[in-house]
Amino acid sequence: MISLQAKTRKEFGKKTGSMKANGSIPAVVYGPGEKNFSIEVSEKDFKKVFAKAGESSLVELHIEGESAKKPVLIHEIQKDPVSDLIIHIDFYQADLKEEVQVAVPLVFEGVAPAEKELGGTLNKNMLELEVKALPTNLPQEIKVDISGLKTFEDHILVKDLAIPANVTVIKAGDEIVAAVLAPVKVEEELAAEITENVEDVEKVEKEKKEEVVIEDPDKAKAPKEEKPKAAQ
């Protein structure tokens, strides 16, 4: 489990300016049956931990002055809308015996032949996947092998992904994760080909109908009778 050092926070509100100037970020820890408490963590250390753990892996929080280590998940990161700097972090203290629901990032691996050889565009319908599991069973990432996308008709579904047996996926199994889209020119050619095939079928069916002539003997026309000529 990845470790992160923290200190009990003593500055709040506008007073956190000096803390941020020293390279620390204000944070809060909360969870079921636990009292919320405020801490601060090193921005440099946190970025390293977040790069490895993301929001789906447990982090072991070491708070200065406390012997107990707290298993937490990085629940939310608040950033300044202008500078994009981290201004606050929410840590969720997980109950290791209770399942939690988190978003696990998808990592796409391999090369899609339909993209490389046919000039298509890889379309990623999902970048993360909601799952439910015990905190200790949460996967850090889920890999997606795109090497099987050989044509524009191929696609990868949620049910095709390798999910650990002790992890439950929230989304339906038939939802599309990724596919390769055909270039616009190819799409137009395919559409034109389909239209042409439909027109050919309709033409053949029309010709067949014209060839079939049903005669009703009861309605056949009788030969015209010749009128008697007048006597001369």
Model confidence over 172-198: pLDDT tens digits?
A: 999 999 999 998 765 566 667 777 776
The whole-angstrom separation of Cα 132 and Cα 32 is 17
Say if residue 214's pLDDT is above 60: no
pLDDT value of residue 215: 52
Per-residue pLDDT, averaged over 38-54, amounts to 94
**pTM for the full model?**
0.70
The whole-angstrom separation of Cα 4 and Cα 156 is 37
The whole-angstrom separation of Cα 190 and Cα 70 is 58
Domains of the chain: 2-96 (2.40.240.10), 101-184 (2.170.120.20)
**Which one has a higher pLDDT value, 86 or 190?**
86
Residues 6+ apart with CB under 8 A from 129: 103, 104, 106, 142, 158, 161, 169, 170, 171
**Which one has a higher pLDDT value, 156 or 232?**
156
95 within 8 A of 130, measured Cβ to Cβ: no
Mean pLDDT score of the chain, rounded to an integer?
85
Measured CA to CA in angstroms, residue 17 lies from 14, 21, 22 at distances of 6, 6, 9
pLDDT value of residue 216: 52
Per-residue pLDDT, averaged over 214-219, amounts to 52
pLDDT value of residue 232: 47
Locate all alpha helices (DSSP H) within the chain, ordered by sequence.
16-21, 43-53, 113-116, 184-211
46 within 8 A of 78, measured Cβ to Cβ: no
Say if residue 127's pLDDT is above 60: yes
